[in-house]
Amino acid sequence: AVEFLRSTWPELQEVRFEIGAVPLTDAGDAVPRWHIDREQQRIVLFRLPIERFLAPGHDDHLHRRMAVEGAVFRAAAEYVGREPWEFGHDH
């Protein structure tokens, strides 16, 4: 997913995508799925919240992969200030 996004949007060429287990800060009731640091040009995706908040009955390899890829797309879109569905070779 990251290589596709980098090939599609030049704004992401230098962005580091990292995996973290859990967020280190308290966000109240919300559990963040990712953290964006534009100053350091990085996006940290939090694996456990992404995987643990799958809908019941969807905790299998395919759904986990879809959840992770969806989080990558949403985090990257937030980083560049666009909507996730704008990613693609037509945009």
HSE-up of residue 1 (Cα within 13 Å, Cβ side): 18
Could you report the per-residue pLDDT of 17-32, keeping only the tens digit for each? 999 988 876 666 778 9
Residues 6 or more apart in contact with residue 10 via CB below 8 angstroms: none
Mean pLDDT of the chain: 87
For the entire predicted model, the pTM comes to 0.84
How confident is the model at residue 16, as a pLDDT? 97
How confident is the model at residue 13, as a pLDDT? 94
